[in-house]
Structure formats: C-alpha cells, structure tokens
Amino acid sequence: MRCLAGNAAAAEAGWGDEDVESGGREMSKRRFSARLETIQRDLRTVIERMGATTLRVNEDILRGDVEIIFDRGGRRYVFRCGKYPHSADNLRAAQLAITYLWRALEEYGVVSDEAEIERAFSQFFLGFEATPDDTVLLLTDGRVDWWEVLGVDPDANRQTIINAYRALAKTHHPDSGGNPDDFRRLRAAYEAGVESEAER
C-alpha cells in the first residue's frame, strides 16, 4: 500500500511520494530532488529554445528507463537514460544532458550567425541522432497501415512523418544499398501519411 501523502522526513531525504511504501519494501533515495513538473517544464523550455518541432517522452514503468525524443531541423534525436531506479531521475538526467549541451552551444559558444549555430548543433548532437530501430527496418509486407511502416503514431503531424521517412530512407534507398521494393513501400507509406495528415 502506498502512503499517498508522503512524509516530511522522506521528502527531506529526497524520496518521492512513490517511494514511501509500507509492506517491508526498502526505500531507495532519489538522485535528483526535482519534482516531475519541474523536470517537464525545464525540458519543454530547452526544447522550445532549440527550435525543435516535436517532443515525446517514453518511459518503461517497470524498469524506470526513459527516452526523450525530439525533432529539429529535419532530424530526430534520442536521449536515453536507465542509470537510476526511478524514472524521474532518469528523465532529469537526460533533460540535463540536453540542457547542458544546448547551453554550451548557445550561451558559451563562440558562434554567432545562424548557419554556424546549425553546424555546431549538428556536431554537438550527432551522437544522439536517432537511427531506425530494427523492427521499423523490416517494413513489413506492405499490408499494414502507413504509420506502422513509418513507426509513428496514426495522428502524427506532418513534420514527424517527414522525419520518420527521411530516417528510414537513409537505410532503404536503393542508392544506399536498400531493396527497391522496400523503398517503394516506404515511399507509399510516406505519401499516404502526408495525405492523411492533410485531410485532418
């Protein structure tokens, strides 16, 4: 049973409400004291300052693993963290990594014009550029919906559809060694997605 109100000693020790449980379970100390609302606000702020077009956070509730996914400049970036037992700590760690990289570029960098900032951003964040996962690379047999082929939600916006298509096209384009049939299915899914988004 959870103690929903928590207690002052647990809060002072850095434990969140979710950690104050009875039943003999050991309480683990939180790494960061920031509350979820603060982490989300800080993440949204830095993502907006960077000019990202989308932001999504995925969480493995059982393991506490977190990934932050955002699109900027036609590219998708993924920051993952599973170091801590609490998902809020993992979210904070990933959010701080993004914030400090951006701060190093924006506030402490010596670049001044927009083209230089874009080039520097690409270099700073290159290691976090998303690659399509193995399940998406299979592209199925063509009898599934366009969003399953692209690996996006059915209600994805135009920029998300374009970003997913571009990421997959890097792998599946015949000029990159991809299968022409797979690329045709990818292209058809992209066109169906853009058409569907335009109709909404």
Condensed to tens digits (0 to 9), the pLDDT of residues 79-90 reads 999 999 999 999
Q: Please report which confidence band the pLDDT of residue 47 belongs to, taking 50, 70 and 90 as the band edges.
A: very high
For the chain, percent of residues with pLDDT exceeding 70: 76
Same domain, 101 and 49: yes
Same domain, 46 and 96: yes
For position 84, what pLDDT does the model report? 93
Measured distance CA(89)–CA(27) in Å, rounded: 15
Same domain, 99 and 174: no
Same domain, 154 and 80: no
Q: How many domains does the chain have?
A: 2
Stated as kind and residue range, the H or E segment containing 70 is strand 66-72
Task: Supply the pTM of this predicted model.
Answer: 0.56
DSSP lists the bridge partners of residue 79 as 68
Output the average pLDDT for the chain.
77
For position 110, what pLDDT does the model report? 61
Scanning the chain, the segments in alpha helix (DSSP H) are 8-13, 36-50, 87-106, 114-125, 134-137, 146-150, 158-172, 180-199
Measured distance CA(151)–CA(161) in Å, rounded: 9
Measured distance CA(75)–CA(177) in Å, rounded: 21
13: in domain = no
12: in domain = no
For position 26, what pLDDT does the model report? 45
Residue 100 pLDDT > 60 = yes
**Beta strands 54-59 and 75-81, pairing class:** unpaired
Residue 92 pLDDT > 90 = yes
Same domain, 142 and 119: no
Give the mean model confidence (pLDDT) for residues 141-151: 76
Instruction: Tell which of 78, 108, 128 closes a domain.
Output: 128
CATH number at residue 88: 3.30.720
- State whether residue 4 is helix, strand or coil: coil
Measured distance CA(134)–CA(9) in Å, rounded: 46
Structural domain for 168, as ranges: 137-199
Give the mean model confidence (pLDDT) for residues 9-24: 39
Same domain, 172 and 120: no
For position 35, what pLDDT does the model report? 94
Same domain, 105 and 154: no
